[in-house]
Structure 1
């Protein structure tokens, strides 16, 4: 499966935010609507803080990723592309870059946790709240050699 990356620019933010919204609605049922809306409002700021890529198949954007140093900060797929190998293809392409060693996931998102554990990550710590102090526990994972 050929999934190709393109550096995302601010012109792509609306498309990526729409993918984020659909993905979160499908997987983050635990988020209160007000919290989801607040996060969505801040997406452009978050996008500006990472090396942001949109991932395409035959010209269609299927998802996006953001990395910062050795951390995979975000990886979201549009729901029609769930469970078809696109996430794994993107992940393996990202791993060809040196250094992705850590990722954090919401504890209430067992699908994401299982995905990263299948990729060789293990839980190394837990935070009771997310980075904004909201009541969504975060699991910090590291890739095991």
Structure 2
């Protein structure tokens, strides 16, 4: 049985492992060293600033989603590369959609599979910019609950 729950302190290392593996796979247009150098800021800064939820099956973490609650920003969504395509990402996005009327995110334009995934989840491209850290084009996407 698959469950979604608030991340616990002992979930951080498996989350970081998934984050690094998935980042290297999805962002092959950015040097691998960039991601390796982001591990400590991810652990000490980004994850603690976010509300984090994990999706688990029999105590195995399959992926996680992170939300910056003040701005309704979906800051991270990462699924173990071996588990991608099984619907876990959609389950995590749906979990947040049940709680919020709008969600916003930034995604690299070259990460076309993620852009397509978010579009399938009802996110629309609002604007395009450049990520200051990598110099890569990124898309600002938003989802709004329909009023019908």
**TM-score calculated relative to the size of structure 2:** 0.87
Which residue does 2:50 correspond to in 1? 50
Whether the 8 Å contact between 2:30 and 2:134 is mirrored in structure 1 is: no
* Secondary structure of the corresponding residue to residue 76 of structure 2: strand
CA 67–100 in structure 1, closer or farther in 2 if over 3 Å, else same = farther
* Secondary structure of the corresponding residue to residue 101 of structure 1: strand
Whether the 8 Å contact between 1:125 and 1:140 is mirrored in structure 2 is: yes
Which residue does 2:86 correspond to in 1? 84
* Secondary structure of the corresponding residue to residue 16 of structure 1: helix
Which residue does 2:123 correspond to in 1? 121
Within 2, Cα distance between the matches of 1:47 and 1:114?
25
**Cα deviation 1:36-85 (Å, max 9, x = unaligned):** 12222211111011001111123221001100121111110001111111
Q: Does 1:9 align with 2:12?
A: no
Structure 2: unaligned runs, 5 residues or longer: none
CA 3–103 in structure 1, closer or farther in 2 if over 3 Å, else same = farther
Which residue does 2:141 correspond to in 1? 141
**TM-score calculated relative to the size of structure 1:** 0.89
Within 2, Cα distance between the matches of 1:87 and 1:100?
17
Within 2, Cα distance between the matches of 1:12 and 1:20?
12
Q: Hey, which bits of structure 1, 4+ residues long, moved more than 6 A?
A: none
Q: Does 1:36 align with 2:40?
A: no
* Secondary structure of the corresponding residue to residue 90 of structure 2: helix
